[in-house]
Amino acid sequence: MEKPKAVLFDAYGTLFDVYSVGLLAEQLYPGHGQALATLWRDKQIEYTGLVTTSNDGAHYRPFWELTRAGLRYACKRLALELGDAREQQLMNQYLHLSAFPENREVLQALKDKRIATGILSNGDPEMLGVAVRSAGLEPLLDHVLSVDGVRKYKTHPAAYQLGLDATGLAAPQILFVSCNAWDALAATWFGYRTLWVNRYQLPFEELGTQPTRTGSSLRDVLSFF
């Protein structure tokens, strides 16, 4: 099979560890950090689907706002007192999520092979800019694509179309990489070649479609080349 001509990465959960915020959450709420990080993430993703599918996207709000809303909900659900100071601490931590250690190695290897690289993310441009700069990945990325431009979150086809528009390639010429099974599935349905990075040894979605390949870290991207 022809080698991909570009690789697009999901950001949150794939390049940046969304659960790393649990370390600060545990300091603020001993015994509840992991539960807060997990529920926060789940609600954040739930909200992206809600605002995309309701009233044809009339209720769209930027990812930063949905992230804040998800945090507030999670704290109420877990009966944790949030307050302005803690909210600001946790939101600031989300701006500077830990990057997975193999990111730079894989992106550099792709750059050496002259393969176009990019991020295709639900994150709004400001969030992505901070995360990319904090991780020092800016020189290794050709594209940083935010769904904010189309005001529709993944898994809407308009979100995945951004990759084709930016690269000028057809979907089968692009490898899309995500740690989120729902994202890898929808990208496969859209027509991308896909790598699901199954970091947590989870089952894939039971909807009759499998990603092109499954791996355990971003290093598995290089197996396509």
Which two structure tokens, joined as six digits, stand for 55?
A: 């009233």
- φ, ψ of residue 42 in degrees (nearest 5): -60, -45
Q: How many residues does the chain have?
A: 225
Catalytic residue among 10, 124, 148, 183: 10
Contact 215, 198 (CB under 8 A): yes
* 10 included as an active-site residue: yes
Write out the H or E segment, with its range, that includes residue 22.
Answer: helix 21-28
Sequence-distant (≥ 6) Cβ neighbours of residue 178 within 8 angstroms: 9, 10, 13, 14, 184, 187, 194, 195, 196, 197
Give the active site residues.
Answer: 10
